[in-house]
Structure 1
Amino acid sequence: MSGTSPGGLERGDRGNNLSVGGAVDWSFAAGVGAKLSRPAPPTTDYTRDQAIAELAESARAAELPVREVTHLNEGAEVPEARIIDRPQWVHAATESMKVMTGGGESSSKGPAAGLAAKVAGAQTGAVLAFISSGILGQYDPFAGGLGDRRGELLLVYPNVIAVERQLRVKPADFRLWVCLHEVTHRVQFRANPWLADHMSDSLAALTDDAGEQVGEVIGRLGEYVRAQRKGEASEANSSGVIGLLRAVQAEPQRQALDRLLVLGTLLEGHAEHVMDAVGPAVVPTVATIRRRFDDRRQRKQPPLQRIIRTLLGFDAKLNQYTRGKVFVDEVVGRVGMHRFNTIWTNAETLPLPAEIEEPQRWIDRVL
């Protein structure tokens, strides 16, 4: 609304392998994104302060039921969530992206390289500004940097206020419902610290160009176009921007993308499962919230917004929620939550792409 080192890279190597990190002026990206972010919905000081206080309390209150349902309890003290506005989310997102891509501030030499870093920063900032008006919350496992990673739960209060008004639901219930989802992500990563390494290693492999020549990329793109014309590409690999991205990647990058997509599908589906499992006991109006929220997800967007959302992967994200929840629901229904939690053992016990669609295959392989 998120063990084994699959990328084969140690943390100390990432700065050299992730050329993306040094190609973006992250401070410029944060500044541009903050300026371009849409104004918050009009609210009184009382409403704003009440929402901030209630979201902070809801994030604390959600922790215990989430731990009880998931059986993931690292025993640590419940950390405070950070309640922020849209520009603050943009700044937090750029810091996280900087860590994920192994980049400090741009070290590019010369005016041309510096200009390119600012252009990339402006593009990144514009994308984050668009996203900042829609995201309700986020657990950032990379907060604090790779060396001092502490993780942080962020809740974007203007967006929570805007959506609860749009859905015409009880604010206190909706705020707790949102927190159930985001706190699940916090529990996932805090109970399984290797997940953040798995994610960052996959990102390292995904953004490593491996010295590829432009001609090789263009050749693969041509093969993709021909396959599309002949109807040979599979539905999973040909849909929208993901299919195009896979088309221009070498095999190591494709495998890294698959790992990230599967992990995202699992994390989001698990959080959706937990929301529904916990919801009736602690959120009195959960049925109404779920129905109206799902209707909102499915409603048609204006053409330009649909194009932007597709390019930014929003449709793929919604697909992750749906497919991931079906997978988790089916596995938990067949073997129970305790045996399902074998999935968090290491990278080898995570589902393979085909197993997301056929949960029994994961059960047969892992359990």
Structure 2
Amino acid sequence: MLDPNFAAKMAVTLAGGAGEPGLPPVDLITVCDTAHARITDATGLVAAQALPPPEWVDREAWAAANAVSLSRLLEPITDRAGQDMGPLAGPLRAAAGGLATAEAGALLGLVAKRVLGQYDLTLTDPDVPARLLFVGPNILDAAAKLDADAGELLTWIALHEVTHAVQFSAVTWLRPHLAEILEELLGSLDVEVDWGALLKLPSASELRDAVDTVRERGLASFLGPARGDLLDRLQARMALIEGHAEWTMDAVAGELVPNLEELRAALDRRRAERSGLLRFADRLLGLDLKMRQYEEGRAFCEAVVALGGPELLSHAWAEPETAPGPQELADPEAWRARVSRA
């Protein structure tokens, strides 16, 4: 299985060190408490239990938390490696775990220097408490590079992450529903060793075809129809979650972030000025897909509010059946008609 300790250490090394967290530029607990109250007023979502306390952490602590989450997520897959290989099963499982550890460390290392905040939730293990993480060295560094007020930037980040905390606390079906989709998707993946493929390097044309396919159709292009449907459902739910957080931030940030427009413009420049290598890494990691989820989900929420106000949008959280499907995200009118009939 994946070794979270080694993956986290590898990530920190690739990120250039843990970084000096310093101190939050404003009182973090007060910022999150204020965000929580404003979010509840704007969305009507009432948390069923107390939200996790905010934590001001360095890159090492962030990487360690995410390495543990990845380990729990990938454990069913790495445990199935080599299950039909008889006496070779043990060595193959160990090799799969080593490969997963190296890949996790590399991926976390690419993100660790850039991530600002995270609502860390282990979907597949409800016994693991959620965490609300703010990566101090990255926030302070971003504020300096953007020439932005660090307190306003921290407030902006808190609005997004606290919205996620409120979503998962208030919408009681959300966590088990996503876990069910994810477990079904991961459980349907076969772990097989194709020795022929391992011994054969892909041609340049095969590599180009694979890159073009992922760019045009996403990861679903490598899954069967049933698995592709599962991935579409998962992405639709994530688009709602991320888009709703974006809409909520806009709805409540006015009084809390005085220089909102300037900050948003600076953050947009930060995304646009990434190097070609980082943009490639975004596509490889699926972060470009996350940005499309922000945009698509936010556009859906804005359109629904224009059609029927926040009250209509609240129906998206009533139960899994009323959440928008993949096609309805681009057609809010169709979603409203379906929900009205229901």
State the TM-score bracket (shorter-chain normalisation): 0.7 to 0.9
1:82-108 C-alpha deviation (Å, 9 max, x unpaired): 221111111111222233345599697
Matched, 1:340 2:313: yes
The alpha-carbon deviation at position 320 of structure 1 amounts to 1.2
Give how far 1:174 is off: 1.3
1:355 Cα offset (Å): 0.8
Q: 2:282 aligns with which of 300, 309, 313?
A: 309
Which deviates the most, 250-259 or 56-65? 56-65
CA drift at 1:243: 2.3
Do 2:32 and 2:162's aligned partners in 1 also have CA atoms closer than 8 Å?
Answer: yes
The equivalent of 2:90 in structure 1 is 110
Residues 285, 40 of structure 1: CA spacing in aligned structure 2 closer, same or farther, 3 A cutoff? farther
Q: What is the aligned partner in structure 1 of residue 232 from structure 2?
A: 258
Distance 2:309 2:326 in 1: 22
TM-score (norm 1): 0.78
The code of the aligned residue for 2:164 comes to H
Are the structure 2 counterparts of residues 254 and 214 from structure 1 closer, same or farther at C-alpha, using a change threshold of 3 Å? farther
Pair 1:147–1:261, CA change in 2 (3 A): closer
1:28 corresponds in structure 2 to 6
Q: Is the 8 A contact 1:60 1:78 kept in 2?
A: no
Q: Does 1:129 align with 2:120?
A: no
Which residue is equivalent to 1:318? Answer: 291
Q: 269, 283, 287: which one pairs with 1:295? A: 269
Change (3 A) 1:241 1:93: farther
Counterpart of 2:185 in structure 1: which amino acid? Answer: L
* 1:65 to 1:165, Cα distance in 2 relative to 1, 3 A: same
Query: Which residue is 2:332 aligned to?
Result: 359
How far is the alpha carbon of 1:206 from its aligned partner? 1.7
Partners of 2:77 and 2:27 in 1: CA distance: 35
Alpha-carbon distance between aligned partners in 1 of 2:24 and 2:115, rounded to the nearest angstrom: 20
Correspondence for 1:71: 44
* 1:349–1:366 CA contact under 8 A, matched in 2: yes
> Could you report, residue by residue, the CA deviation over 1:269-299 in whole angstroms, capped at 9, with x for unpaired residues?
11111111101122211121122212322x2
Structure 1: 5+ residue stretches without partners: 1-21, 219-224, 230-237
1:296-321 Cα distance to aligned partner (Å, 9 max, x none): 22x24322222222111121111111
- Is 2:144 the partner of 1:170? no
Give per-residue Cα distances to partners, 1:305-358, cap 9 Å, x unaligned.
Answer: 222221111211111111111110110121111221111122211111111111
Q: Distance in 2 between matches of 1:116 and 1:69?
A: 46
Question: Which residue number in structure 1 is paired with residue 200 of structure 2?
Answer: none
Preserved CA contact (<8 Å) 1:25 1:106: no
Determine if contact 1:34/1:91 at 8 Å carries over to the other structure: no
> Where does residue 85 of structure 2 map in the other structure?
none
For 1:239 and 1:266, how far apart are their aligned partners in 2?
25
Q: Report the more deviating stretch, 339-348 or 106-115.
A: 106-115
1:205 corresponding residue in structure 2: 184
Conserved? CA contact 1:101–1:203, under 8 Å: no
CA shift digits 1:23-76 (9 cap, x unpaired) = x333432332233332366x6x8xx1244x633432222111111111101353
Q: Which residue of 173, 177, 190 maps to 2:169?
A: 190
Name the amino acid aligned to 1:288: E
| Number of aligned residues | 321
In 1, Cα distance between the equivalents of 2:193 and 2:323?
34
Q: Percent identity?
A: 31
TM-score by length of 2: 0.84
Partner Cα distance (2:186, 2:334) in 1: 30
**Secondary structure of 2:56's partner?**
strand
Whether contact under 8 Å (1:86, 1:132) holds in the other structure is: yes
Q: Which residue of 2 aligns with 1:4?
A: none
Residue 139 of structure 1 contacts residue 152 of structure 1 at CA under 8 Å; is this kept in 2?
yes
Contact 2:78/2:96 (8 A) holds in 1: no
Distance 1:197 1:99, change over 3 A: farther
- 2:121 aligned residue: 141
Q: Map 1:219-298 to 2 at 5 A.
A: 240=214, 243-297=217-271
DSSP 3-state at the match of 2:132 = strand
Where 2:27 maps in the other structure, the secondary structure is helix
Letter in 2 for 1:125: G
Structure 1 position 177, deviation (Å): 1.1
In structure 2, the CA distance between the partners of 1:314 and 1:128, relative to structure 1 (3 Å rule), is same
C-alpha contact (below 8 Å) 1:138/1:154 kept by paired residues: yes
What's the counterpart of residue 201 of structure 2? none
Name stretches of at least 5 consecutive residues in structure 2 with no aligned partner.
82-88, 198-204
CA RMSD for the aligned pairs? 3.0
Q: Is the CA contact (8 Å cut-off) linking 1:100 and 1:200 kept in structure 2?
A: no
Q: Does 1:96 align with 2:96?
A: no
